[in-house]
Amino acid sequence: MNILFKNVRVITMDDEMPYLENAYVVVSDKKISYVGTTMPEGEFSRIIDASGKVMMPGFVNTHTHIPMTLFRGLSDDCELSDWLFNHIFPAEDKLTGEKVLAGTKLALAEMIASGTTSFSDSYFFTDEIAEATVQSGICANLSRSIVGNGEDFENMPSVSEMKRLLEYVKENGDGRVIADISIHAEYTTESLCRIKTAEYAKKNNLILQIHTSETEAEHKNCIEKYGKTPVELFASEGLLEGTHPLLAHCCYITENDMEILKSYDGHIAHCPMSNLKLASGVAPVPEMMRRGVNVTLGTDGVASNNNTDMFEEMKLFAVLHKGIEKKATVTDAYVALKIATANGNLAQGRKNCGKIAEGYFANLILVDFERPHLVPCHNVISNIVYAAKGSDVVMTMVHGRVLYENNEFKTIDIEKAMYNVKGIK
Ligand SMILES: [Zn+2]
C-alpha cells in the first residue's frame, strides 16, 4: 500500500532541515519512502490532501502504567503516602484481568487520539495489557513490574508473568510491541530480587525500567540504608551494565548519579506533571542535558496526571525549567519536541523511528492548524509546543497503518471501551 500526503507542512525532526513547507510524503507499507517538495512519481492507493495540517513524528511516552486510567480522579490533592497507601493500593487490590483490560483499551484510545505512537509501560496483568496493545496497532515496550525479595526468583508469580509476556510479544508483537523488564523501585525490592531481574534482562537483551529517586524520602532512606544513592546502589549491584536502563523520575539524583548514568548509556523518563501533582519535586533536567544524559518524557499513570496528553507534558517541560532556573534560554521548543519524540525512541531501543525521513517507520501524526488557538503561525514548532493540544490531532499512523482519523478509531471500539470503564465499580 502506498499513501501519498500532499500539500503538507512537515516537522521532520531532522536537525539539518527540521521543517518543510508544501511537502509530499509517501508511506509504503510500514515505512516512509519519500519526503520532498517535488511531486513523486508512482501509483498511490490513497492520496491525502493535508492542506492546513502539520505532520510530525508521533509522541513517545516513556513512563506509563496504562491501566491506571481506571483511577483518573480517584484521589487528588493529597500527600503521596496518603494517595498511595489509602487510595491507590486499595484500588489496585481490587483489580482483575477484566478490569485491567477495560482500562487498557481506554488508555490506548486516549493515547492514540492525542498523538502518541509509542509508549513504555510497567504494571501487572500484562497478559491482558499485551493482548489489547498488540490489537490496537500502537508501538509499545511493555514490562511486568517486579517486586519482592527474590528468593525462589524463578517461581515468583510476577516472574512467570514476565516470561509469558516475553513469549507472547515475540510471537505476536511483530517488532512493534516488544518486552522490557521492570524493577518497581529500590524500596519495594531486596537486593537479590534486583540482581536476578537484571541478570534476566541481560540474558534476554531487555531494557530495564526502574522508578528511581522519585521522592526525597525514598532517596534519603536509600542513603541511610545502604550508604549510597539509588543510582549508586543500582550501579554497585550491576543493574545498569548492559541493561540499557530507563530510570523514571530521578527528581533527586546527584551530579555523580548523572555521570554514572551517562557511563552506562542510561536514559531518564522525566514526568513533570506527576512529580508536581504529587509534590514529589522537580528533576534537575537541564543539568542532565548539559551532561549529555538522554532525557525523555513520560506522563506516568493517569492516577497522578490525570491524562496522557503529551502536548501538555511537553509544554510543561518547556516552561517549567525556565522558571526553576530563572533563565528563559535553558530549554527551547525544538528541544522540548525532541525529548517528547526522538529521544523516547532512543530510550526504547527503536531504530529508524522519530523522524519524518526516508527509511524511517511511519509513526506520524497530523495536527490540524486551522484552529483559533493555532492562528497566526509565525513558527510551526512554536505553535506545536506552546499552543497545540492533543485534541488538535486529526490522524495517527503507526507502522504505516492509520489507527485514528477525524475522530474515528480504526482498531478500538471506543463506545464499548468507555462503556466498559464506566461500568466498573
Ligand atoms: Zn511510575
Distance CA 256, CA 229 (A): 10
Residue 252 has pLDDT above 90, yes or no: yes
Distances (CA, A) of 78 to 50, 187, 265, 277, 304: 45, 21, 36, 9, 11
pLDDT at position 179 is 98
pLDDT at position 106 is 98
Measured in Å, residue 251 CA sits from the centre of ligand 1 at 13
Distance CA 94, CA 98 (A): 11
Q: How many of the other CB atoms lie within 10 Å of CB of 321?
A: 23
Residue type, 15: D
89-96 contacts: CB < 8 A, separation 24 or more?
95/67, 95/70, 95/124, 95/125, 96/125
Tens of pLDDT, residue by residue over 93-141, are 999 999 999 999 999 999 999 999 999 999 999 999 999 999 999 999 9
Q: What is the CATH number of domain 59-347?
A: 3.20.20.140
SS3 content of the chain, % helix, strand, coil (to 5): 40, 25, 35
Measured in Å, residue 296 CA sits from the centre of ligand 1 at 14
Q: What is the CATH number of domain 2-57+354-409?
A: 2.30.40.10
Tens of pLDDT, residue by residue over 321-340, are 999 999 999 999 999 999 99
Residue type, 64: T
pLDDT at position 387 is 98
Distances (CA, A) of 11 to 128, 185, 337, 403: 35, 37, 10, 20
> What's the pTM value of the predicted model, to 2 decimals?
0.98
Residue 417 has pLDDT above 90, yes or no: yes
Q: How many of the other CB atoms lie within 10 Å of CB of 337?
A: 22
Measured in Å, residue 78 CA sits from the centre of ligand 1 at 17
Distance CA 32, CA 296 (A): 24
Measured in Å, residue 307 CA sits from the centre of ligand 1 at 14
Nearest Cα to 152, choosing from 193, 210, 204, 212?
Answer: 193
pLDDT at position 245 is 98
Whether residue 144 contacts residue 182, with contact meaning beta carbons closer than 8 Å, is answered with yes
Residue 23 has pLDDT above 90, yes or no: yes
Whether residue 203 contacts residue 242, with contact meaning beta carbons closer than 8 Å, is answered with no
Measured in Å, residue 210 CA sits from the centre of ligand 1 at 9
Q: Over range 88-93, report the average pLDDT.
A: 94
Q: Over range 341-370, report the average pLDDT.
A: 97
Tens of pLDDT, residue by residue over 137-187, are 999 999 999 999 999 999 999 999 999 999 999 999 999 999 999 999 999
Measured in Å, residue 395 CA sits from the centre of ligand 1 at 28
Residue 425 has pLDDT above 80, yes or no: no
Tens of pLDDT, residue by residue over 193-211, are 999 999 999 999 999 999 9
The conformational region for residue 357 under phi > 0 = left, psi -120 to 50 = alpha, else beta, is: beta
Residue 79 has pLDDT above 90, yes or no: no
CA 103 to chain centre: 17
Q: Over range 1-16, report the average pLDDT.
A: 93
Residue 216: which H helix or E strand, with range? Answer: helix 216-226
Measured in Å, residue 248 CA sits from the centre of ligand 1 at 7
pLDDT band at 81 (very low <50, low <70, confident <90, very high): confident
pLDDT at position 74 is 93
pLDDT band at 309 (very low <50, low <70, confident <90, very high): very high
pLDDT at position 408 is 98
Residue 268 has pLDDT above 90, yes or no: yes
Q: What is the mean pLDDT of the chain?
A: 97
Domain boundaries, the chain: 2-57+354-409, 59-347
